[in-house]
């Protein structure tokens, strides 16, 4: 199990969610904000949303933001 905590960029609400390691490394993970119901892409290893494999660490680096583990 993996735990992720993040702040929604749409409504500025902080939330925490649990996902399986297998889904994060081999599948697709979308997390819905409990406040505004916006969906956030956390991992796409099947190429559903992009042509290459991508996870939240790659997406954050693209935007020039930091990540803590």
Question: Does 55 reside within a domain?
Answer: yes
How does pLDDT run across 34-60, given as a tens digit for each residue? Answer: 999 999 999 999 989 888 898 888 888
pLDDT of 65: 82
The 3-state DSSP class for residue 31 equals strand
Question: Does 49 reside within a domain?
Answer: yes
Burial letters 44-69, b for 16+ CB under 10 A, else e: bbeeeeeeeebebeebeeeeeeeeee
Residue 28 has pLDDT above 90, yes or no: yes
Question: Does 6 reside within a domain?
Answer: yes
Q: By residue range, what is the domain housing residue 14?
A: 2-62
Please report the beta strands in the chain, taking only residues with DSSP state E, as ranges in sequence order: 2-7, 14-19, 28-32, 39-44, 54-55
Number of domains in the chain: 1
Q: What is the pTM of this model?
A: 0.79
């Amino acid at each position: 199990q993996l735990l992720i905590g993040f702040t929604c960029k749409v409504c500025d609400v902080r939330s925490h969610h649990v996902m399986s390691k297998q889904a994060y490394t081999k599948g697709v993970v979308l997390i819905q904000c409990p406040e505004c119901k916006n969906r956030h892409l956390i991992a796409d290893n099947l190429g559903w949303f992009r042509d290459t494999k991508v996870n939240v660490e790659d997406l954050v680096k693209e935007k020039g933001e930091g990540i803590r583990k």
